[in-house]
Amino acid sequence: MIAIPGGARIWMATGHTDMRRGMHGLALQVQQGLHRDPHAGDLYLFRGRRGDLVKILWHNGVGLLLYAKRLDRGRFIWPAASDGVVAITPSQMACLLEVIDWRNPRMTWRPSAVE
């Protein structure tokens, strides 16, 4: 798991991103497309057209880092908006990366009676 420093925000780029882009291409997209500073210490999440690959761009104060996660099966849950950016919390990002519906997480088991 990524250790996110306090004060860092997490932004999801809505819509589809060309996953052939590397860290410089994604940083340029953050700067020109999302109108944000890619070197400010925030995390930026991008998803490809098929939905099985997520890339995370983060500047940790020393340099740019690029994380990627590809699913063997299934798709990452992404906002329906076609352009722009959505802010999420670190716990929502953790749910997203574990392929849990981060918009409405639910407990999978709940006791039915007191024992």
Q: Which residue did the predictor score with more confidence, 111 or 89?
A: 89
Measured CA to CA in angstroms, residue 4 lies from 19, 28, 59, 82, 115 at distances of: 23, 22, 11, 27, 39
User: Per the domain annotation, does 110 fall within a domain?
Assistant: no
Question: Given this model, what pLDDT does residue 115 score?
Answer: 67
Question: Given this model, what pLDDT does residue 74 score?
Answer: 87
User: Per the domain annotation, does 90 fall within a domain?
Assistant: yes
Work out the angle at residue 91's Cα, subtended by the Cα atoms of residues 85 and 93, and round it to the nearest 5 degrees: 40
Question: For the whole model, what pTM was predicted?
Answer: 0.85
Domain total of the chain: 1
When the pLDDT of each residue in the chain is averaged and rounded to a whole number, the result is: 88
Question: Given this model, what pLDDT does residue 24 score?
Answer: 95
Query: For residue 76, what are the domain limits?
Result: 10-97
User: Per the domain annotation, does 36 fall within a domain?
Assistant: yes
β-bridge partners, 12:
45, 86
E strands within the chain? 10-13, 43-47, 53-59, 64-70, 85-88
Question: Given this model, what pLDDT does residue 1 score?
Answer: 58
